[in-house]
Amino acid sequence: MDATIINNNHSSLEAMDSTLQLTLHSYNMAHPKRGIAVVINNNRDRKGSEKDVKALQAVLSHLQFDVRLLSDKTTVEIRHALKEVSKEDHTNNDCLAIIAMAHGYNDRIKFDDDYLHIDELWTNFVGNKCPSLIGKPKLVFIQSCRGGKLDYGASIATADARPGLEEPVDVKIPMYADLLVMYSSFEHHSSIRCRNEGSWFIQSFCQVLGANIAKTELQALLCHVSYLVSIRSDQTIDPEGKVVKQIPMVTSMLTKAFYFVPK
């Protein structure tokens, strides 16, 4: 249902000057520290995930994150750890990153004792829950199945495979502003993990973020991650012998451009 409000702003799109120049703003990445990266991994019955952890630790450390690994923890332990991170002072940090890897089904990820709802990964960090992260990017990446459907692809014919204010003001921002969530697969679909090489999504993610990316905006980088996943040529097949494909999904509430500026 749509909400009805009284609009006190008398300007309209029709009245806007077509010659108005668009000004793009970027997040402040000049803080002393990059920020904390929480890596959550359930390794049990997930052969190959140890390669994902190793790759993530390397690339996140290269990007100057403070990497915190939570391996084979219970949901109680994970909730507690995330709560403790939210209590820390992030004033000197650029951003926060959370990467979760486990079995799952749509809006839940499974650990040994119970399921964790996906939104529990970020609920402690949005809005006023974590004041020192207000206005800063919260980046969440989830390697997990979102259902049992398999993507068999489609055949195509193709030729090629508020600045300038001198005084501080009290402003309000949307509750979920500055949050980005990237899923390894489309909703209700499976996510592919190779026993010998790790998961398609995490390995592609680390390949992209490990490159020379300082001048490339984050969402362009993530678009390339999706591209790499989509063209995987592993010829993975299901029990019936069909080739399986995969495409990640991004939900972004970021309000500015994000660059991994070197420190």
The CA-atom distances, in angstroms, between 219 and each of 110, 166, 213, 249, 252 are 28, 31, 12, 12, 9
Structure tokens at 238: 């299901």
What integer pLDDT is reported at residue 168 of this predicted model?
46
Q: Mean pLDDT throughout 9-31?
A: 70
Q: Is 103 a catalytic residue?
A: yes
- Which one of the listed residues 31, 103, 194, 224 is annotated catalytic? 103
Across residues 23-39, what is the average pLDDT?
A: 95
Query: For the chain, how big is the Rg over CA atoms in Å?
Result: 20
pLDDT of residue 6: 53
Residue 169 has pLDDT above 50, yes or no: no
Q: What is the mean pLDDT of the chain?
A: 86
Per-residue confidence (pLDDT) for residue 105, from 0 to 100 = 84
Residue range 67-93: mean pLDDT, rounded? 97
| Residue 184 pLDDT class (50, 70, 90 cuts) | very high
Which of 41-55, 61-75, 150-164, 169-183 comes out lowest in average pLDDT? 150-164
* Cα Dmax for the chain: 66
β-sheet bridge partners, residue 181: 140, 251
Whether 189 is catalytic: no
User: How far apart are alpha carbons 23 and 5 in whole angstroms?
Assistant: 28
Which of 27, 51, 28, 30 lies closest to 41, judged by CA?
Answer: 51
- Tell the burial category of 244 from Cβ atoms under 10 Å away from its Cβ (0-12, 13-18, 19+): middle
159-169 in b/e form (b: 16+ CB < 10 A) is: eeeeeeeeeee
Q: Delimit the domains of the chain by residue range.
A: 33-152+176-253
Q: Would you say 137 and 95 are in contact if contact means Cβ atoms under 8 Å apart?
A: yes
In percent, the amount of the chain with pLDDT more than 90 equals 63
The residue-averaged pLDDT of 218-245 equals: 84
Any idea what DSSP says for residue 2?
P
- Contact (Cβ atoms closer than 8 angstroms) between residue 124 and residue 130: yes
Residues ≥6 apart with Cβ < 8 Å to 163 = 25
Give residue 235's pLDDT band: very low, low, confident or very high (50, 70, 90): low
Q: Where are the alpha helices (DSSP H) in 104-262?
A: 200-209, 218-230
| Spatial separation of the C-alpha atoms in residues 124 and 119, rounded to whole Å | 9
pLDDT band (50, 70, 90) for residue 158 = very low
Strand runs (DSSP E) across 184-262, as ranges?
A: 193-194, 198-199, 249-252
180-205: average pLDDT: 92
Residues with Cβ within 8 Å of residue 169, at least 6 apart in sequence? none
Predicted local distance difference test score (pLDDT) of residue 159:
44
Residue 115: partners with Cβ closer than 8 Å, 6 or more residues away: 75, 108, 109
- Which of 95, 130, 145, 206 is an active site residue? 145
Q: Which of these, 55, 47, 36, 45, lies nearest to 201 by C-alpha position? A: 55
Q: How confident is the model at residue 81 (pLDDT cuts 50, 70, 90)?
A: very high
Look at residue 41 in the predicted model and tell me its pLDDT: 96
Does the pLDDT at position 166 exceed 50? no
User: pTM for the complete prediction?
Assistant: 0.85
At the topology level, CATH places domain 33-152+176-253 in Rossmann fold (3.40.50)
Q: Is the pLDDT of residue 231 over 50?
A: yes
Residues 44-49 have a mean pLDDT of 85
pLDDT digit string, tens, across residues 83-124: 999 999 999 999 999 999 999 887 899 998 999 999 999 999
- Residue 183 pLDDT: 96
pLDDT confidence of residue 1: 52
